[in-house]
Structure 1
Amino acid sequence: MARSDENRPTTRRAEMAEQTRKRILSVALDEFTRSAYANVTVADIAAATGVAKGLVFHHFGSKEGLFLEALRVATAELDASHHSDPQLPSGVRIAQRFRGHLSYLAEHRDLALNLILRGDDAGPAVAQAFQSMRWSGIDWISRLLGLDPDHPSVQLTMNTYVNTADDIATRWLQQTEPFGLDEVTQALLEVLVGSLKAATRLDPELDVADAVASLDAALQQEPTPHRQDTAKATHARATR
């Protein structure tokens, strides 16, 4: 019993430290959502949390480390929006993932523009995290389409595609979503088809026929009423 009592202060201190860490991270997520990385300071985050600046460094090491943790929280939520029905054809599953991705970004516009899409200038560790995120997406799409993500031409053109897709999403949000979710989703699918065809220019022996056919089939599908309503609601919000 005595040993248990002796451990209680340590346990309470650890719990309080974890609560403080979570508060700092929550405030940082809000700050990085509202402002670009360069415009947020550790002093601002510390003041908003009500702690000493040194305590922020104690828990996260640096502003870059704090941003990286905030990015991980945001991307975990984003990943949860990437739902696709495994029973559906690969092209339709990719369309579902794209649409869920865009829908989340539209619903969290400031978070997307300041953290998810434009945070790769926050330092080497963050840039590496962004590259890892992009590679994860490339790997999922490539394997779903029956392609080898490590194939040099697939790797090159798909990496270019992901960068283009991020740029499309960024400009779409910056322009207050002038097009509906379905239109932008289809545009991303079209760009993906073009990227796969470009890969065959680099390696004529690469067979992307089935992958392109699956994506073309997804492009031919009419939006369901739910999808149409959501797209209209998005456009209406954009024009208000």
Structure 2
Amino acid sequence: MHTDLMETGRSSVPATRAARKAASRARILAAARELFEDRDFDAVTVGEIADRAGVAHGSVFHHFESKKGVYRAVLDAVVDEMDAAFDGSADTTDLDAVRRGLRAHLTYAAQHRGLTTRLVLGRRSPDPDVRAASERGRERVLTAIALALEVDPTREANIFVGRVMATAFDEATVLWLESDGTLLAHAVVDWMIEMMEAAIDAVPALEGRAGRRNLPSL
């Protein structure tokens, strides 16, 4: 009996320690997210992150190694949330699902304007980690859209068109956020859908072939 109690006590120590460590990391990540929502990477200091999280400055480096590590973790979390928003609405593989997914994407962008803009513009960053975070979510959404439109996501011409469309949609998202409601979200989504249809329909021309591809109607 005594041995069992000792074993129970012994096993609870690392569990408690792990819980404290996880809670500390979560506070740092939440604090960094709030700061990066309002300001660019260079305008936020590790000291500010630590102070807002209520931890020692060294704790930030313990969990994330560097400010860039915290920033990458924040962007990765945003990518996961944007994926979840898109996937949660695009629950079937058709154009209506893509439409719902894009609307969910814009809704999320409006609710997290600063971080969305930083993530979208991250593809231009000289930092490879930031570019990687930006690209990760883009590739998943492009594959989902390709499958919904019944096109091969591995075909070279489709990859080319997809990347061009992704760049256009990124710019459209940022411009839409800057419009502050002048452009309606559903109208932007309709425009995105029509652009995709036209671009994919023109793939034969891109490949030097005659003819046009007939897409499923809306």
Fold equivalence (TM over 0.5): yes
Higher relative contact order (CA 8 A, sep 6+): 1
Per the alignment, residue 94 of structure 1 pairs with 98
Q: Does 1:173 align with 2:177?
A: yes
Deviations 1:144-177 (A, max 9, x none): 2121111111101110100110100101102213
Letter in 1 for 2:163: N
TM-superposed CA distance for 1:13, in Å, is 1.9
Per the alignment, residue 159 of structure 1 pairs with 163
TM-superposed CA distance for 1:24, in Å, is 0.5
* More off after superposition, 103-112 vs 31-40: 103-112
Superposed, 1:109-148 pairs within 5 Å as: 109-114=113-118, 116-120=119-123, 121=125, 123-148=127-152
Identify if the C-alpha distance between structure 1 residues 9 and 177 changes in structure 2 by more than 3 Å, giving closer, same or farther.
same
Question: Which of 52, 55, 63 is residue 51 of structure 1 equivalent to?
Answer: 55
TM-score, structure 2 normalization? 0.86
TM-superposed CA distance for 1:208, in Å, is 6.3
Per the alignment, residue 84 of structure 1 pairs with 90
How far apart, in 2, do the equivalents of 1:79 and 1:7 lie?
A: 37
How far apart, in 2, do the equivalents of 1:75 and 1:39 lie?
A: 22
Whether the 8 Å CA contact 2:158–2:203 is kept in 1: the answer is: yes
How far apart, in 2, do the equivalents of 1:71 and 1:157 lie?
A: 25
Whether the 8 Å CA contact 1:23–1:49 is kept in 2: the answer is: yes
Per the alignment, residue 232 of structure 1 pairs with none
Which stretches of structure 1, 4 residues or longer, exceed 3 Å deviation after superposition?
204-208
Aligned length: 211
Identify if the C-alpha distance between structure 1 residues 97 and 49 changes in structure 2 by more than 3 Å, giving closer, same or farther.
same
* More off after superposition, 1-10 vs 40-49: 1-10
Letter in 2 for 1:191: M
TM-superposed CA distance for 1:140, in Å, is 1.0
Whether the 8 Å CA contact 2:161–2:200 is kept in 1: the answer is: yes
How far apart, in 2, do the equivalents of 1:133 and 1:80 lie?
A: 10
TM-superposed CA distance for 1:191, in Å, is 1.9
TM-superposed CA distance for 1:34, in Å, is 1.3
TM-superposed CA distance for 1:85, in Å, is 4.5
How far apart, in 1, do the equivalents of 2:133 and 2:79 lie?
A: 10
How far apart, in 1, do the equivalents of 2:211 and 2:106 lie?
A: 29
Deviations 1:12-70 (A, max 9, x none): 22211111111101111111111122222222101211222221111012222211221
Per the alignment, residue 63 of structure 1 pairs with 67
Structure 1: give runs of 5+ residues left out of the alignment: 219-240
Letter in 2 for 1:168: A
TM-superposed CA distance for 1:7, in Å, is 3.3
TM-superposed CA distance for 1:198, in Å, is 4.0
Whether the 8 Å CA contact 2:83–2:141 is kept in 1: the answer is: no
How far apart, in 2, do the equivalents of 1:137 and 1:43 lie?
A: 36
Per the alignment, residue 197 of structure 1 pairs with 201
Structure 2: give runs of 5+ residues left out of the alignment: none
Per the alignment, residue 22 of structure 2 pairs with 18
What RMSD, in angstroms, separates the aligned Cα atoms of the two structures? 2.2
Letter in 1 for 2:185: L
Whether the 8 Å CA contact 1:42–1:63 is kept in 2: the answer is: yes
